[in-house]
Structure 1
Amino acid sequence: MSDFTQRFLFDDSDVRGELVSLNDSYQHVLAKHAYPQPVAQLLGEMMAAASLLIGTLKFDGLLILQARSSGALPLLMVECSSAGELRGIARYHEEQIAADAGLPELMPDGVLAMTIDPTNGQRYQGIVDLDGQTLADCLTNYFATSEQLPTRFWLCADGTRARGLLLQQLPADRIPDEEERQASWEHVITLASTLKTEELLGLDNETLLHRLYHEDALRLFDPRALVFRCSCSRERSANALISLGQEDAEKLLQEHGGEVVIDCQFCNQRYGFDAADVQQLFAGGGSQAPSATHH
């Protein structure tokens, strides 16, 4: 399994953790666009972050991380479903991107939005400024300002592999005393902060956790698979055309030489609709392409 998250718990403290490793899904996203290295790195970090976050939420649906700015990287967006399906995309101005550019240079005056879109229930969105030196800093700030459980992130990506570590303080259970709880939390955070990028990228989970916490009792649970999968479809593209109304859809046909092509920006899939398709859509015939005998 090359793409997965893996949860762990400390037996003697109220802290949980999660590790993520992305290879195939990360490569699949990068293969769709020729991203500059700094953009590819940030996109990998955001994919790792979304994968970690989906494990902290008990719901069926979609988590969307979206960063926007007025800089060289106007958009960074990753979606992760509760089923472990990932996709991501970035919009950038290549001529403005230096080889060593980091988050502050790429996304000045940026904002980070986290959207929870459950299959059943109300959509929720939280927004925070991108005011950290790294994406991990910004996500840590998000949890600090939104009055949620204290949470820390460590993220890295190198254009080949993306990795991440999340630590989260749980409600009081094993340690009821507040001072002891805080000391326990600071203990696990301090040790995690010694982690080097090359260790996070290069070590397997068991080795990494042993190196950090060999004096602490913890349990490592079974991994949970992740996979790249785009949610685009011909049906969704057809619904977008239907939402325009028949008159506007037919105008689009005329403007585009008799065929409307809808491109998925995430996976580069193309869905074409000619006059017969559009007629079929508005006649209630569905989104499947008409047969060759259709007139």
Structure 2
Amino acid sequence: MTPLQPAVAPADCRTRFIFDNMPVRGLHVRLENVWQHIVGQKHYPAAIRRALGELLAAGALLSSNLKIDGTLIVQVQGQGRLKMLVVEATSEQTVRATARWNEDAALGDDESLAALLGDNSVFVLTLQPKDADPWQGVVPLEGGSIAQMLINYMKRSEQLDTHIVLSADDQACGGLLVQRLPEETLDADAWEHVSTLAQTVTAGELTALDAQHILYRLFHETPPRVFEPETIEFACTCSRGKVSDMLLMLGGEEVGGVVAEQGSIAVDCDFCHAKYVFDETDVNALFGADVVNAVREEAQRVQ
């Protein structure tokens, strides 16, 4: 690997690398167009926008290990002003993300994640295969940042030395992960050297530079083998069919009641803000019965 002149970083790429002289692998991700599309969906306060961008970069990093067709869902849940951050990353190299928070509460631009989440916050990792039952792990949130939370989780669940650095600003989000290969012996001093170098990457470098520039800057003395980058895209998996399934789960009485009162029922997607509207004809067809009129007649009967 040779030094390169500063260049515009490619947008929306995930790059794998491995050290041939030691059992350490790594990943770099930088998302620009994808990130700007996500934050353009709603007005996120600065502190929540930063945390969501870091979690998005983390989800793109962790999903690289998906060995089956499916989706990795990474969530942070709290009971404070920030209720949830959620990222979904698929084996088809697509991502989506959103956050829920108390929109009436005051939020400082530099507030910590722990302060926003409040007590009893948890980290939830869900693997949803396309053709099998999901697997889910839930652990208490340990660490004051998304990166430290994930480092602690990886250490506890996989017993693998892992170092993660994450960053997000208004333009892009990025992340760097280095990890000891499983079932391989690694000298403690060698791991300390690699992880210490990884820690020197700055927030600005992660959001502005491509993998080649960052890896040269960090590891030019022992350059890793770098693989072809993978393109990450935004894609939402919402559909009218999925909303229909949700309405069926709510039941004819509840859905029919809303339509009887309001004339229709509308559901917005949290991720892409597509709106799905079901009127009286749609709802009755969905349930295979005149559930709206049944609710009206019941209301008249009890009056």
TM (normalized to structure 1)? Answer: 0.89
Give the partner amino acid of 1:49: A
Q: Distance in 2 between matches of 1:70 and 1:244?
A: 25
Residues 135-160 of structure 1, C-alpha deviations (whole Å, 9 max, x = no match) = 10000000112134222210000122
Q: What residue number does 1:116 align with?
A: 127
1:90-239 to 2 correspondences below 5 Å: 90-94=99-103, 95-109=105-119, 110-173=121-184, 178=185, 180-239=186-245
1:39-58 to 2 correspondences below 5 Å: 39-58=48-67
Q: Secondary structure at the match of 2:44?
A: coil
- 1:172 Cα offset (Å): 4.0
Q: What residue number does 1:291 align with?
A: none
Residue segments in structure 2 that go unaligned for 5+ positions in a row: 1-9, 290-303
Q: Distance in 1 between matches of 2:222 and 2:82?
A: 41
Worse-matched range after superposition: 38-47 or 79-88: 79-88
- 1:232 Cα offset (Å): 0.8
- 1:20 Cα offset (Å): 0.5
Q: Distance in 1 between matches of 2:175 and 2:261?
A: 47
Worse-matched range after superposition: 42-51 or 247-256: 247-256
Whether contact under 8 Å (2:30, 2:210) holds in the other structure is no
Give the partner amino acid of 2:111: A
Structure 1 runs (4+) greater than 4 angstroms displaced: none
Q: Distance in 1 between matches of 2:67 and 2:161?
A: 17
Instruction: Figure out how many residues of one structure are paired with residues of the other and give that number.
Output: 278
Give the partner amino acid of 2:287: F
Pairing partner for 1:271 from 271, 276, 289: 276
Give the partner amino acid of 2:285: Q
With over 3 angstroms needed to count, the CA separation of the structure-2 counterparts of 1:27 and 1:166, relative to structure 1, is same
- 1:267 Cα offset (Å): 1.3
Identity, % of aligned positions? 40
With over 3 angstroms needed to count, the CA separation of the structure-2 counterparts of 1:145 and 1:172, relative to structure 1, is closer
Q: Distance in 1 between matches of 2:142 and 2:159?
A: 18
- 1:87 Cα offset (Å): 1.1
Q: Distance in 1 between matches of 2:270 and 2:204?
A: 32
Q: Distance in 2 between matches of 1:239 and 1:198?
A: 43
- 1:212 Cα offset (Å): 0.7
TM (normalized to structure 2)? Answer: 0.86
